Amino acid sequence: MAINTEKLAHLLQEFVTVTADVQGAALVTPDGLPLASSLPGPMDEERVSAMSAAMLSLGERICKELARGIIDRIFVDGNEGYGILTSCGEDAVLLVLANRAAKQGVLMLEIKRALESIKPMLA
Amino acid sequence: MEIMRLVVAGTVGAGKSTFIRTISEIEAVDTDKAATDETALLKKKTTVAFDFGRLAFGPEMALHLYGTPGQARFDFMWDILIRKAHAYILLVAANRPSEFRYARQILQFMKQRVRIPMIVGLTHMDCLEAWDLETIKISLRQLEGKGHPPIITVDARDEASVAEALITLMQLLMQTREAAENSMNSP
């Protein structure tokens, strides 16, 4: 079945709008191409996609070579907010950008839920 | 032990990862992912962060080799890697002349950021569609000013050939260093 990109984009948009303190999200291929995104204005989708893929691939490599098992997520903690990268099955990577006010527990739970609804759409 | 950081840049499918894998004394670190763009027509997997390899260069020097991704969407990685590099080699596949322009763009990107020794390595010279060395030289130099980078041919799969390319680059690096030292010492 073909991937419904419109539905994917809509789902991400809804995730960003509905989830408190989430500012943006992007779903990208492991080789760094955009699948769908809902990002803050000045951010370039292509660039964000490539960076997400590069970062997750390095995280995977660290997990493998430094015997940390299978990667769950990469968590970037900045003084203005968070960037969280999660693998979304074999064919996609999910990036979520949240502001500093976000509660980490809630954020992780929301991401987990979003992944659950995205994964079947990519299958 | 002095560490020299060398960057292996170049067009998609030129052989950057192979180059590092061929010569590295440690098992090269790669960040290969299945290719889903036009790269997939050339090869199954593509580098998305960087490759890393290491080798001893004489008793007191170690070379750290960093391979970049080929696609321009990863140019932030080019930027990160080139800023810390001592020298670099730009690999260009001789059998895909349509990408020579892109190779020049990569070169421009690097030149805007660093002034370090570099050479051009032509790969895939044994392929049927490969242009001959002289024609490529003319083609690649068209838009270049004075101080052309040396252009060599290299087979990224062949250890001796890769070693030769690295020696050429290191010689250039040493010459540049000596020249800089001499000019500093002269009154």
Nearest one of B52, B144, B61 to B103, comparing CA atoms: B144
- CA–CA separation, A42 and B6 (whole Å): 34
A20: DSSP letter = T
- Smallest CA–CA distance, residue A106 to chain B, in Å, is 30
Contact by Cβ (8 Å): B33, A31: yes
The reply to whether residue A32 touches residue B73, judged by beta carbons under 8 angstroms, is yes
d(C-alpha A118, C-alpha B79), whole Å: 33
> For residue B11, is pLDDT > 90?
yes
Determine the length of chain B: 187
CB pairs under 8 A between A and B: 52
**Which of B29, B35, B77 faces A31 most closely, judged by CB atoms?**
B35
Rounded distance between C-alpha atoms, residue A38 and residue A27, angstroms: 9
**Dist CA A39 CA A72 (whole Å):** 23
CB contact under 8 A, B33 and A65: no
Rounded mean pLDDT of chain B? 92
Q: Which two tokens stand for residue B28?
A: 């090269």
pLDDT at residue B133, as a whole number: 84
State which residues form the domain around B39.
Answer: 2-185
- Of the candidates B35, B49, B73, which has its C-beta nearest A58's C-beta? B49
In the chain, the amino acid numbered A84 is: I
DSSP string, A22-80: EEEEEEE-TTS-EEEEE--TT--HHHHHHHHHHHHHHHHHHHHHTT--S--EEEEEETT
Tell me the C-alpha to C-alpha distance, in Å, between residue B136 and each of A88, B10, B124, B133, B141. Answer: 44, 15, 13, 5, 8
pLDDT score of B132: 86
What is the CATH number for A26?
3.30.450.30
Is the pTM value of this prediction over 0.95?
no
Neighbour-count burial of A51, counting CB atoms closer than 10 A to its CB (0-12 exposed, 13-18 middle, 19+ buried): buried
CB-based contact B74 A29, cutoff 8 Å: no
Tokens standing for residue B159: 């250890």
**Confidence tier at B142 by pLDDT (50, 70, 90):** low
- Kindly state the helix (H) or strand (E) to which residue A113 belongs, with its residue range: helix A104-122
Q: Using CB atoms, pick whichever of A47, A57, A65 lies closest to residue B48.
A: A57
Residue B56, domain CATH:
3.40.50.300
B69 touches chain A (CB under 8 A): yes
Its ipTM equals 0.84
For residue B55, list its beta bridge partners. Answer: B63
CA B20 from centre of chain = 10
The helix/strand count (H/E) of chain B reads as 5, 8
Residue B39 contacts A, CB cutoff 8 Å: yes
How far is the C-alpha of B21 from the C-alpha of B28, rounded, in Å?
Answer: 6
Give me B3's structure tokens.
């560490």
Domain of residue A43 covers 5-122
| 8 Å CB contact between B113 and B82 | yes
Tokens encoding A18: 């509905």
Asked if B76 reaches chain A (Cβ–Cβ under 8 Å), the answer is: yes
Cβ-defined contact of A46 to B49 (cutoff 8 Å): no
Query: Domain total for chain B?
Result: 1
Q: For residue B127, how many C-alpha atoms fall within 13 Å in the half-sphere facing its CB? A: 15
pLDDT band at B90 (very low <50, low <70, confident <90, very high): very high
Percent of chain A with pLDDT over 70: 99
Residue B60, SS3?
coil
Q: How many domains does chain A have?
A: 1
pLDDT, tens only, A42-87: 899 999 999 999 999 999 999 999 999 999 999 999 999 999 999 9
Report CB contact under 8 Å: A50, B35. no
Q: Is the pLDDT of residue B171 over 90?
A: yes
| Beta carbons of A30 and B73 less than 8 Å apart | no
- Gap between the Cα atoms of B56 and B159, Å rounded: 14
Contact at CB, A31 and B73, closer than 8 angstroms: no
